[in-house]
Amino acid sequence: MFIGIDDTDSERGLCTTYLSAVLMERLRPLGEIIGRPKLIRLNPCARYKTRGNAALAFQLESDRPEEVKDAALKTVLELSDFSGMNTNPGLVIAPQVTAQMTAFYQRAVTEILEIKEAKKLLDEEGIWYRGFKKGRGLIGALAAIGAVLPDFTYELIAYRERARWGTPRYIDAASVWRADALTYPRTWDTVDHHNNRIVFAPHSADPVLFGIRGCDPQAILEAFRTIKSEPVERSVLYQTNQGTDAHIQQGVVADVRDCESYRLHGFVAEPAQAIAGGHLFFPLQNDAARINCAAFEPTKNFRAVVLQLVLGDELEVCGSVQEGTLNLEKINILHLADKVETSAPLCPKCQKRMESAGKGQGYRCRRCKTHAEGRVQQLLTRNLETGYYEVPPIARRHLSKPLVRMSGENVHPSR
């Protein structure tokens, strides 16, 4: 049995991953969990997401399917926040993962889908499901089951004791930095060195204490053992599409759609301009088409790279298109254009900067009585190298592939 769950939490509390962790425990007497549970992130532009658009799925071998459905239903009813305005739980239990379900996942991570599309596929395939309220969670629940992951990472999520939900988390900061030092780059995004912040713990009222991300379960467990904190009620190691760029489609500037994410090729058409609040924007051009690219204030030190781009730099950009603007997650500088500065010429005798001799009359040096026709061009050195640059861990989207996973490429990881 493949069990998928989504849309059970609200901004006020709870968490679909917690619900499935509790459900897995309750199902143990009824069967055997096969492999690792899947923590699946779907289209980050989906409108009704609470936070990171996560959905959950796991596989259970059981000869007591009716009792399994019963336990799953009870757990969804007990651990969902039905009062949440945008909480519309979905529970799907499928006997197998078909190619159509995998194609549905592929669409759910890249496009915006409608509830009726999920219901249509569920009905066509004769799959058992229950949708509550609007049943929007059926989209994520079905997609999570269908997710076949050619590339994947892991996340260990530690959960809090119930009595502490909603109170400040106690996590010993020094132990977190130590865990990072011991296990990076096999774990990542635990801390943000450049911005001097611990980034692996939420501040919301949900049951999550923290999450450790990485490519190696041993390293994740080592980090987990190193971290000192309030008691952990339970922890689960998930297999996940986080950190894989599963949402990114190869695209061209002229054809992008809103609410989808792309890798686009083009040339910087103008240097970046800042607006109030420290947000940066520059246009990327490919043939006749242009798109505005944004590095918002929360992307912090990434903006220093964007500020150094000049007219003609050849780039690949990755990010989501929202209201016609691509929100940058990373850039790949393919070729640096010449950065040229024009200035008044130097006097050939005294080597001092010459002054204008009047409109259209060239330049002169009063002292040496020398004269020159026009301004001179000077090639400036670029304090930038080609290769990939990314937003720092503090601003990373769950699905974005961190550069630390791209060894062999020309990368400049933000650490």
- Region from 3-11, 266-274, 305-313, 384-392 binding ligand ATP, contact rule CB under 6 A: 3-11
Least distance from ligand ATP to the Cβ atom of residue 19, Å: 9
112 scored as a contact of ligand ATP (CB under 6 A): yes
Q: Which of 21, 37, 43, 394 contacts ligand ATP by CB under 6 A?
A: 43
**# residues near ligand ATP by CB under 6 A:** 24
CB of 162 to ligand ATP, least distance (A): 17
Spacing of C-alpha 275 from chain mean position: 24
Q: How far apart are CA 22 and CA 147, in angstroms?
A: 22
Q: Which of 7/155 has CB closer to ligand ATP? A: 7
When binding is defined by CB under 6 A, the residue of 49, 69, 263, 412 that contacts ligand ATP is 49
Residue 412 near residue 389, CB atoms below 8 Å = yes
Alpha-carbon distance values, 376 to 60, 140, 226, 365, 373 (Å): 74, 61, 60, 15, 9
Segment contacting ligand ATP by CB under 6 A, of 42-50, 245-253, 316-324, 385-393: 42-50
Residue 81 binding ligand ATP, by CB under 6 A: no
With CB under 6 A as the contact rule, the residue among 9, 155, 245, 313 that binds ligand ATP is 9
Query: Residue 92 interacts with ligand ATP (CB under 6 A)?
Result: no
Residue range at the interface with ligand ATP (CB under 6 A); choices 27-35, 108-116, 177-185, 333-341: 108-116
- Strand order through the sheet with 355-356: 355-356, 363-365, 370-372
* Interface of this chain with ligand ATP, residues 124 to 153, rule: CB under 6 A: 136-137, 139-140
Residue 403: closest CA among 388, 381, 384: 388
Q: What is the DSSP string of 279-327?
A: EEEEEEEETTEEEEEEE-GGGTTHHHHHHT--TT-EEEEEEEEETTEEE
Are 345 and 354 a contacting pair, CB within 8 Å? Answer: yes
Phi, psi values for residue 24, rounded to 5°: -60, -40
Residue type, 299: T
Is residue 80 near ligand ATP by the rule CB under 6 A? no
Q: Tell me how far, at minimum, the Cβ of 42 lies from ligand ATP, in Å.
A: 3
In 10 A of CB 345, how many CB atoms? 17
Q: What angle do CA 166, 76, 238 make, to 5 degrees?
A: 75
Which amino acid is present at 296? F
Minimal distance in Å, beta carbon 112 to ligand ATP? 4
Site string for ligand ATP, 50-79 (x = CB under 6 A): xxxxx-------------------------
Chain contacts with ligand ATP (rule: CB under 6 A): 6-7, 9, 15-16, 42-43, 46, 48-54, 88, 108, 111-113, 136-137, 139-140
